[in-house]
A and B are shown apart, each in its own frame.
Chain A
Amino acid sequence: SQQGEEDPQALSIQEGENATMNCSYKTSINNLQWYRQNSGRGLVHLILIRSNEREKHSGRLRVTLDTSKKSSSLLITASRAADTASYFCAPSTGTSYGKLTFGQGTILTVHP
């Protein structure tokens, strides 16, 4: 596995706005996962995107993957106060199995 670096470190928006956070990594990957963590809780899996995919959607979430730039982005549309959380990406080289390596994450605050 390898570590992803999330950017920005913190993001503050109003309810109804869109939130975009980015993830960069250093070497070729097999897949990349995004997770959310509410304060003091465990991580929740959001989306897994494979290296041969460019975009994936799940509800209000849209994830893109650009393997040429070694980067991924997570877009949350029409944000809600309940989306307030930390968001982490976890790129994987394909032999990581249960070993995920996380960066410091993006702290998203959505103001009502």
Chain B
Amino acid sequence: KAGVTQTPRYLIKTRGQQVTLSCSPISGHRSVSWYQQTPGQGLQFLFEYFSETQRNKGNFPGRFSGRQFSNSRSEMNVSTLELGDSALYLCASSPGQDAQPQHFGDGTRLSIL
């Protein structure tokens, strides 16, 4: 079974731009979660999508948004990029029930200039 795939692996943007990151979950997984990882704040939960609906949401401003498609692939979008948005963005998938391991991709490294 193929693992979780995130594209692109690296991205460089400038302040004020917007960016879209993509995540393809493991086949059959219906839940996709997104996390932001920075040296200062550590790993922070952004949101979770299950069957195309947002099921959980973290404490991030509205500039961070996401969606999930009928094939469970997910995208997250960050608008009006700020320097502080530089981070490793990780997505994770699971079948969708509680108490199940999350399977992570290797992330997208986003750098804001």
Contact = CB atoms under 8 A, between A and B. Distances in A.
Contacts of A43: 90, 92, 102, 104
Contacts of A92: 98-99
B42 A97 contact: no
Overall SS of chain A's interface:
loop
A98 B42 contact: no
Interface of B is mostly: strand
Interface in B87-113: 88, 90, 92, 94, 96-107, 109
A45 B56 CA distance: 21
Interface size class of B (residues with CB under 8 A): 20 to 34
Contacts of A44: 104
Contact of B99 (A31, A101, A103, A105): A31
Interface stretch (B11-19, B43-51, B76-84): B43-51
B96 A98 contact: yes
**Chain A: number of interface residues, binned into ranges:** 20 to 34
B72 interface: no
A103 B42 CA distance: 7
Given A30-B99, A33-B101, A97-B50, A41 B106 contact: yes
Nearest to B32: A98
A37 to B, nearest CB: 8
Interface of A: 1, 30-31, 33, 35, 40-45, 48, 50, 88, 92, 94-105
26 contacts: A31-B99, A35-B102, A40-B88, A40-B106, A40-B107, A41-B107, A42-B92, A42-B104, A45-B103, A48-B99, A48-B100, A92-B99, A94-B99, A96-B56, A97-B55, A97-B98, A98-B48, A98-B56, A98-B92, A98-B96, A98-B102, A99-B48, A100-B92, A101-B45, A102-B43, A105-B43
